[in-house]
Structure 1
Amino acid sequence: MGSYAVERRLGSGGMGEVYLAYTAGGDPVAVKLIRRGRIDPEIRDRFAREAEIVQSIVGTSRVAGYRAHDAFADQPWIAMEFVSGLTLNDYVREHAPLVAMLTASLGILLAEGLQTVHRAGMLHRDLKPLNVIMSRRGPVVIDFGLGAMTASDAASLSTPGWPLGTPRYMPPEQARGESGVTTAADVYGLGAVMVYAATGHDPYDGNSRQKILEKVRDATHSPDLTGLPVELEQLVSSMLAHDPERRPDLTAVQDHLSGLLQKMGRSAKSARRALILETFQDTDNENSVPAVPAPAQNSRLSSEPVEEFEPSIFEPEPEPAPGKPQAQHQIAEQLRDLYAQRTNLLLR
């Protein structure tokens, strides 16, 4: 695709597929390709708008970076920065939900990313655990396909009772197919993602898409917050308010979560690093750098302060210089291993 050499498929959806590809210099990129059966002039235009969106929000560590696109190729494609790491969905499913402190850090960081999107005059409109990568720099938001849609797009591509988006994470106004959805929709999506991160279940569930949509639209049907840490209940409940006017803005969300971290004796910096230590797993084996060890099954971090350091600063120990005693080199190896396993960094 373009100048990129495709290696393998990373995933697929109703509209297209995503592939791992490499530049001529060997840098990895994620290339999104529209399915042939879904290509028409309207889809090409929407795809071009998505490319414009991601180009307009460069310069943030919370959003995957733009590389190139061709909306008018035989099969339209867009190349984005490849972000190594598990999705939040996969991390929680394979390991365990996050404790309150880590969920608070996740919420602050994702709110930062959404603020960048909103300042560019855009919405995401499909924030969910599958669209959050737990990277070596913290959570990164991907997939702005729905954000590229205008109100007329949504009206023409939706059918009655079948609005575009992910029902478990979409706000009531989007579930009703209303036009003029505001930034409050992304606040709702963030609250729903925080519920999943902290509990391992969705705010709403059902045995069909329609059943879930009915629950989301019903103002008398409250979201399921079972298992949500008590420290987060008040904020998350307000973020999931049925009326978008009653939801806090993203600045208020960040302020509340920052205050919560302070009560726990944590700085935002310390909490972010703890989140990375707990959740990052390198999924780009061919381009890996020294990585944080993968967390154990059902691992948890204690409330003790985490030593403040960046995981990426670790480099392989050089071979002992000529004449350096081998025993001294072995002692250095052992000390480094012990340092990496200290209990106040990552408790099993």
Structure 2
Amino acid sequence: MTSTPSANHFKPLQEGDPAVVGGYRLAAVLGTGGMGKVYLTYTPGGRPIALKVIRPEFSEDPEFRRRFKQEVQAAQRVQGLYTAPVIDSDTDGAQPWLATAYVPGPSLAHAVGQHGGLPLRSVLLLTVGVAEALHVIHGAGIVHRDLKPANVLLASDGPRVIDFGIARAADSTALTGTGVSVGTPTFMAPEQAAAGTVSPATDIFALGQIAAFAAIGSPAFGEGSSHAVLYRIVHEDPDLSRVPAELLPLVTRCLTRDPAGRPSLTEIIELCHEISPVALRQGEDWLPQAVAGSITERLRLPEPAKTPPPQPAVAPTPTQFSPQNPVPGQPPAPGAVNPYAPTGFATPAPPTQGTPGAPGPVPPAPGYPAHPTQAHHATPPPGYPTYPTPAPGYHTPPPVIHAPYVPPARPKPKRTGLIVTGAIVGTLVVLGVIGSLLPDGSSDDKAGGSNSAGSGSGSGDSGTTGGGGKRADPKPVSYKGIDLTDRYEIMLADSPPSPAEGEDVVYGDADFYYISYDSVPSSVGTGNGKLVLLNNAQKGSLETCRAETRYTEKITLDQISDGSQMCLLSDAGHIAVVTYRGKSGADNASNYVTIDLTIWRNAEEPKDS
């Protein structure tokens, strides 16, 4: 097979496409979608990744940016065998972007469009893989809400689900009525199409449509204008006449109009195993040969874009070689930012290996430096000359001969610090002697309140310092709608506090966790501090939390209800008011609690470990 067919999958960069995004040098265009454009690029180690740059229309909308940042943070928690993990992102830059692992395979939409429907075994393995992906996605508190054949990629070892949860960022933005379309409504659920309501059951409906689409080669609710398709989804039954008889019961249950009547992901996986005449095992032969050939084509990756050739020497601008942009080859000033250091985890492509026709080493693998001794040389930005490998004919200037090194005379150190230190020590000694001669209790008023620093309870003055000066209370920071999944934890020092999976949250060092075992009541707790459940008459505040003396480490969910408040005092000195907002429903595929947080960081002195 020649490399010509693969050229259709990797389109060259066009005028208007950036050359570098976030330190990643772009190699080709993978595709264009409703929310942005996707490019092929490489990590420093040469691994290909897909980088999506969000369209300017969205990036200019403040509400989109806020939601996009939340969804990217949530997506970074998803690490499943059938998902494409998030590698890097920039949600605050002029043009937001998101990088995920590159999957060398066609989308389900492309494969079916080129080769028609898949055989039953392939459909069952596809359904099982997507169901496992949704299980991980829902476990992280995310609803995909845009599950469709274009977001399911067919890799050699099974399907990969991409773009999970990102479509939520586009909902309810200022662009809703401007004609900007994020996707097609063909695979929406009735409740999503009619009222915009989504839940994990919404993704189950989409999974049923994907299974039918893979089997018959066309959408179950037909094609046409958006309004016509949406009407059929909400008011009519799907056309399942061509769905294989073995697959029909599963698809029918998934496409139940009532979300409560749809099967769980576990039931779907079990049904697929019951339907299959042989054991379902993912392997290299899970796809028809024609589709597998398309995977091989996508493994012929284009090389990273080459570094621009050296430019003629010109007088530098006043800012070109400023302390923040040092002269190439010279060490940066202390504290200066290296202009060649990329953001995130990526570095630009390696420097060119010499001019055409000049002898040189064999080109390295994509993303690797040309020579071990040059590993610290990054590719200069456009307009800077490439210094590691001089062009032929370049005349190296004669070496500069320096006189023998003589260290400069060191100025005589001033002893101001010693004098001040001695004065302070002497003063403390005198105060200590005076304090020891005073009656008990008098030192509290005359020696600067020595007991206040370590009390940690009582009045709101627990933040005072040992020297008698009162430390100002920190300003509170609030975070709304945090979904804390079962066996996940948060740390108050994180900004924002993002849920992370804990190996042993009960006996670990989590500031706050949620856990739910079958044998014990579901509860929230802390492994690194104290909890106080406030009564209805109390209002959560810094003063209230400091004054409370009723402490525990775990509170069961049957003790709290929507709106209940808890004080959380971490051993690191942070204080927070946790407001409980409820738990996921019984019909929800994921298990999580929702909380609001108001945090006063460093409100107290940290406790000694």
Q: Same fold (TM over 0.5)?
A: yes
Take 2:155 and 2:22, find their aligned partners in 1: how far apart are those partners? 26
What one-letter code is carried by the residue in structure 2 that aligns with 1:166?
Answer: T
1:231 aligned onto 2:231: no
Partner of 1:169: 187
Deviation (angstroms), 1:251: 0.7
Return 205-214 or 194-203, whichever deviates more.
205-214
Distance 1:284 1:273, change over 3 A: closer
Deviation (angstroms), 1:164: 6.6
Describe how 1:324-335 pairs up with structure 2 within 5 A.
Answer: none
Distance 1:163 1:8, change over 3 A: closer
Partner of 2:139: 119
1:45 aligned onto 2:70: no
Deviation (angstroms), 1:267: 1.2
TM, length-normalised to structure 1 = 0.74
Partner of 1:55: 76
Partner of 1:26: 46
Contact 2:39 2:52 in 1 (8 A): yes
The residue matched to 1:32 in structure 2 has which SS?
A: strand
Contact 2:221 2:238 in 1 (8 A): yes
What one-letter code is carried by the residue in structure 1 that aligns with 2:29?
Answer: R
The residue matched to 1:168 in structure 2 has which SS?
A: coil
The residue matched to 2:27 in structure 1 has which SS?
A: strand
Take 1:223 and 1:72, find their aligned partners in 2: how far apart are those partners? 42
Percent identity, aligned pairs only, is 35
1:99 aligned onto 2:119: yes
Contact 1:61 1:137 in 2 (8 A): no
What one-letter code is carried by the residue in structure 1 that aligns with 2:286?
Answer: L
Aligned residues: 278
Describe how 1:150-169 pairs up with structure 2 within 5 A.
Answer: 153-154=171-172, 158=176, 165-169=183-187
Deviation (angstroms), 1:80: 0.7
Contact 1:163 1:175 in 2 (8 A): no
The residue matched to 1:49 in structure 2 has which SS?
A: helix
Contact 1:155 1:177 in 2 (8 A): no
The residue matched to 2:94 in structure 1 has which SS?
A: coil
Contact 2:152 2:162 in 1 (8 A): yes
Deviation (angstroms), 1:144: 2.3
1:108 aligned onto 2:128: yes
Deviation (angstroms), 1:207: 2.6
Deviation track 1:64-110 (CA, whole Å, cap 9, x = no partner) reads 01111111111111111011101111111111311112211111111
Partner of 1:246: 261
What one-letter code is carried by the residue in structure 2 that aligns with 1:235?
Answer: L
The residue matched to 1:56 in structure 2 has which SS?
A: coil
1:192 aligned onto 2:212: no
Distance 1:88 1:234, change over 3 A: same
Contact 2:87 2:100 in 1 (8 A): yes
Return 272-281 or 27-36, whichever deviates more.
272-281
What one-letter code is carried by the residue in structure 2 that aligns with 1:216?
Answer: I
Take 1:206 and 1:227, find their aligned partners in 2: how far apart are those partners? 16
Take 1:108 and 1:199, find their aligned partners in 2: how far apart are those partners? 18
Partner of 2:237: 222
Deviation (angstroms), 1:182: 1.5
Structure 1's consecutive aligned runs of 4 or more residues displaced over 6 angstroms after TM superposition are none
Contact 2:64 2:173 in 1 (8 A): no
Take 2:183 and 2:189, find their aligned partners in 1: how far apart are those partners? 10
Deviation (angstroms), 1:24: 2.9
The residue matched to 1:69 in structure 2 has which SS?
A: strand
Deviation track 1:125-182 (CA, whole Å, cap 9, x = no partner) reads 11111101101221000112545449xx4487645xx997532101000001333x21
Deviation (angstroms), 1:274: 3.1
Return 47-56 or 209-218, whichever deviates more.
47-56
1:275 aligned onto 2:301: no
Deviation track 1:248-303 (CA, whole Å, cap 9, x = no partner) reads 11111111111112xx1x1121x654314644313131389xxxxxxxxxxxxxxx
What one-letter code is carried by the residue in structure 2 that aligns with 1:250?
Answer: L
Take 1:285 and 1:163, find their aligned partners in 2: how far apart are those partners? 32
Q: What is the RMSD computed on CA atoms of the aligned residues?
A: 2.5
Partner of 1:2: 22
Partner of 2:397: none
The residue matched to 1:140 in structure 2 has which SS?
A: strand
Larger radius of gyration: 2
Distance 1:19 1:124, change over 3 A: same
Partner of 2:519: none
Deviation (angstroms), 1:117: 0.4
Partner of 1:72: 92
TM, length-normalised to structure 2 = 0.43
Deviation track 1:220-265 (CA, whole Å, cap 9, x = no partner) reads x11011321100111101100111111111111111111112xx1x
Deviation (angstroms), 1:193: 0.5
Deviation track 1:24-62 (CA, whole Å, cap 9, x = no partner) reads 33221100101123222222222212311221112x120
Return 92-101 or 77-86, whichever deviates more.
92-101
Structure 2's unaligned 5+ residue stretches are 1-20, 304-609
Distance 1:233 1:52, change over 3 A: same
Return 61-70 or 140-149, whichever deviates more.
140-149
Take 2:302 and 2:57, find their aligned partners in 1: how far apart are those partners? 34
Take 1:106 and 1:44, find their aligned partners in 2: how far apart are those partners? 33
Question: Whose helix fraction is larger, Structure 1's or Structure 2's?
Answer: 1
Contact 2:34 2:181 in 1 (8 A): no
Distance 1:46 1:5, change over 3 A: same
Contact 2:82 2:132 in 1 (8 A): yes
Partner of 1:323: none
Partner of 1:178: 196
Take 2:187 and 2:33, find their aligned partners in 1: how far apart are those partners? 17
Contact 1:104 1:257 in 2 (8 A): yes
Take 1:189 and 1:157, find their aligned partners in 2: how far apart are those partners? 25
Describe how 1:75-94 pairs up with structure 2 within 5 A.
Answer: 75-94=95-114
Take 1:156 and 1:36, find their aligned partners in 2: how far apart are those partners? 13
Highest RCO, 1 vs 2 (Cα 8 Å, sep ≥ 6): 1
Contact 2:86 2:101 in 1 (8 A): yes
